[in-house]
Amino acid sequence: MKSSTKYIGAFVFFAFLFAFIQPGDETVNVIQHGKDKEYLIHLKKVKDSLSLKLSDFASDFKFIRLETKKECLLGDAKFYVTGDYILAEQPNQGILQFNMDGRFIRNLVRVGKGPAEYFTMSNWVVDENNQILYLNDYAKPGYFLHFDLKSGKYIGNLKKAFPGMSASVMLTDDNNLMVSPAVPSKNTDENCYLYVQDFSGNLIRKIISPAGLSVEPQSATLFNGKEPFRYHLRDRDTLFTIQKTQLIPFMIFDHGEANPARGIAGHKSMWLNFETTDWVAFYNFYLTSNITSGSTTGDLVHYFLDKKAGRAYKQGRIYFNPTHEYITPFNSQYIVFQKNGIIQKDYQAIDLLEQTKKALADPKFSEPYRTQLKVAVSNLRQDDNPVMVIGRYK
User: What is the reported pLDDT for 219?
Assistant: 56
Burial of 80 (C-beta count, 10 Å sphere; 0-12/13-18/19+) = buried
* Residues paired with residue 40 on neighbouring β-strands, in sequence order: 29, 252
Give pLDDT tens digits for 192-222: 678 999 999 999 998 877 766 666 655 567 7
Q: What is the mean pLDDT of residues 307-324?
A: 95
* Whether the Cβ atoms of residue 205 and residue 244 lie closer than 8 Å to each other: yes
pLDDT band at 5 (very low <50, low <70, confident <90, very high): very low
pLDDT band at 28 (very low <50, low <70, confident <90, very high): very high
CATH of 4-393, one of 2.130.10, 1.10.3470, 1.10.10, 3.30.70: 2.130.10
Residue 19 pLDDT greater than 50, yes or no: no
Residue 314 pLDDT greater than 50, yes or no: yes
Mean pLDDT, the chain, integer: 86
Phi, psi of 324 (to 5 degrees): 50, 55
pLDDT band at 12 (very low <50, low <70, confident <90, very high): very low
Per-residue CA distances from 243 to 16, 29, 167, 201 (Å): 20, 21, 19, 21
Higher pLDDT, 224 or 168: 168
For 129, residues 6+ apart whose C-beta sits below 8 A from its C-beta are 175
User: What is the reported pLDDT for 62?
Assistant: 96
Phi, psi of 297 (to 5 degrees): -130, 130
Residue 27 pLDDT greater than 90, yes or no: yes
**The Cα angle at residue 213 between residues 300 and 221, in degrees rounded to 5:** 45
Instruction: Return the closest-CA partner of residue 310 out of 44, 51, 24, 34.
Output: 24
Which stretches of 66-116 are assigned E, i.e. beta strand? 78-81, 85-90, 94-99, 104-111
User: What is the reported pLDDT for 7?
Assistant: 44
CA distance 277 to 213: 28
Higher pLDDT, 55 or 98: 98
Residue 226 pLDDT greater than 70, yes or no: no
User: What is the reported pLDDT for 385?
Assistant: 98
Residue 240 pLDDT greater than 60, yes or no: yes
Max mean pLDDT among 111-120, 192-201, 283-292, 326-335 falls in 111-120
pLDDT band at 190 (very low <50, low <70, confident <90, very high): low
pTM, to two decimals: 0.87
CA distance 272 to 41: 14
pLDDT band at 364 (very low <50, low <70, confident <90, very high): very high
Phi, psi of 9 (to 5 degrees): -60, -40
* Whether the Cβ atoms of residue 272 and residue 282 lie closer than 8 Å to each other: yes
* Whether the Cβ atoms of residue 67 and residue 104 lie closer than 8 Å to each other: yes
Phi, psi of 4 (to 5 degrees): -65, -25
Give pLDDT tens digits for 94-150: 999 999 999 999 999 999 999 999 998 788 999 999 999 999 998 999 999 999 999
User: What is the reported pLDDT for 11?
Assistant: 46
The percent of the chain in helix, strand and coil, each rounded to the nearest 5, is 15, 45, 40
* Residues paired with residue 272 on neighbouring β-strands, in sequence order: 282
pLDDT band at 234 (very low <50, low <70, confident <90, very high): low
Q: What is the mean pLDDT of residues 3-23?
A: 45
| Count of beta carbons in the 10 Å neighbourhood of residue 90 | 17
Rg of the chain taking only CA atoms, in angstroms: 22
Amino acid at position 245, single letter: T
Lowest mean pLDDT among 48-62, 278-292, 327-341, 356-370: 278-292
User: What is the reported pLDDT for 122?
Assistant: 84
Phi, psi of 388 (to 5 degrees): -95, 140
203-208/192-197 β-pairing? antiparallel
Residue 298 pLDDT greater than 80, yes or no: no
User: What is the reported pLDDT for 271?
Assistant: 83
Instruction: Return the closest-CA partner of residue 289 out of 302, 299, 280.
Output: 299
275's enclosing H/E stretch is: strand 268-275
49-53/311-320 β-pairing? parallel
Q: Count Cβ neighbours within 10 Å for each residue of 192-211 and write b for 16 or more, e otherwise.
A: bbbbbbebebeeeebbbbbe
